[in-house]
Copies of this chain bind each other. A is one copy, B any other.
């Protein structure tokens, strides 16, 4: 099959690799109909996250059609159209039972193979899905492949980020970073009870979408964000800050904006070796800091109605659809944020 493979720093290639095969009775093989290019793929691409084997098939967001199932997979059948969360999960360990499927003891992340061990990704014609029965979700007909791809990662992750701030319903919320996940966090914050909602991003197109989705836009290259939040809160600060960037600057901004007693919710993946604030600074603000990988599998069912309601917004987030063969150019454009790209979809 054709697949997008990792070739070292800032290099991916589309090449022919062996088709995946069933390895265990709990596996399924899925023919990919649409796969996403995610901001976290760029962490690998830029080698901010290291360790991935050369030749690993990239990608962890996809919708597809089941073409083969292992003997233990009885609830799914050839021809079913399914979405996958970005990690697999067994559905029965204590973490899965608690709704923390992203920390399943048997779970694997798609597109992460290290020293020969791990799981190939979904930017390919086919993908092997372990623990298929507890991982995959059948898509209702009303939800297209494109919206479905967002249900695998971006939409639940934005939703999860807002959930971690839910103690502050009615308050002033700030979303830092309006990429696809940030835009979904804006939608989720609106749905989950943000009172006043601000969105911070330097990219005009992203900021315009955030505004269209219900946030008051702040361009940090033109406005002093700290002063703006101070003014809007009588000097108090933001009740909740949702940080979706994953940089030291964003971490420090979140700290400076949050009010004493407030919450910082972080789904941005940080690669710095230290926090942007000290333990004493956290103490001085009576801070609640929440972070982690979204348990997407545990959120998808509940988000199906939202995906329908937000079909227009999802359409707006998906800026580029390209064939798999154009992946190297897409990675390059996405890394440079060229051509007003918000979100690439690969259609194998």
Contacts and interface: CB of A to CB of B under 8 A. Distances in A.
Contact of A103 (B94, B286, B290): B286
* Chain copies in complex: 2
A103 B260 CA distance: 7
A182 B165 CA distance: 28
A269 B280 CA distance: 7
Interface string A274-294: 110011101111111111110
Given A266-B283, A282-B292, 17 more contacts: A94-B236, A95-B236, A98-B261, A103-B261, A266-B279, A269-B283, A270-B280, A270-B283, A271-B280, A272-B278, A272-B279, A273-B278, A275-B278, A286-B292, A287-B289, A287-B290, A287-B291
A283 B269 CA distance: 7
Interface of A: 94-95, 98, 100, 102-103, 164, 234, 236, 251, 260-261, 266, 269-275, 278-280, 282-293, 295
A293 B286 contact: yes
Given A236-B94, A260-B95, A282 B289 contact: yes
A177 to B, nearest CB: 15
A272 B266 CA distance: 23
A295 B273 CA distance: 32
Contact of A291 (B100, B102, B279): B279
B282 A274 contact: no
A215 B270 CA distance: 37
A290 B292 contact: no
A263 B327 CA distance: 40
A261 B292 contact: yes
Given A100-B260, A260-B100, A260-B103, A279 B286 contact: no
Contacts of A269: 280, 283
A236 B98 CA distance: 12
Contact of A102 (B103, B286, B295): B286
Instruction: Please provide the 7 A-B residue pairs with the shortest distance between their CB atoms, ordered closest to farther.
Output: A286-B292, A270-B279, A103-B260, A100-B261, A289-B289, A274-B274, A288-B290
Given A94-B236, A260-B95, A261-B100, A275 B271 contact: no
10 contacts: A94-B234, A95-B236, A98-B261, A103-B260, A266-B283, A270-B279, A271-B280, A282-B289, A287-B289, A287-B291
Contacts of A251: 279
A286 B160 CA distance: 11
A103 B236 CA distance: 11
A275 to B, nearest CB: 5
Nearest to A276: B279
A102 B283 CA distance: 11
A288 B291 CA distance: 7
Given A95-B261, A98-B261, A260-B103, A278 B286 contact: no
Nearest to A95: B260
Given A98-B261, A236-B94, A251-B279, A289 B286 contact: no
A48 B239 CA distance: 31
A12 to B, nearest CB: 23
Contacts of A102: 286
Contacts of A270: 278-280, 283
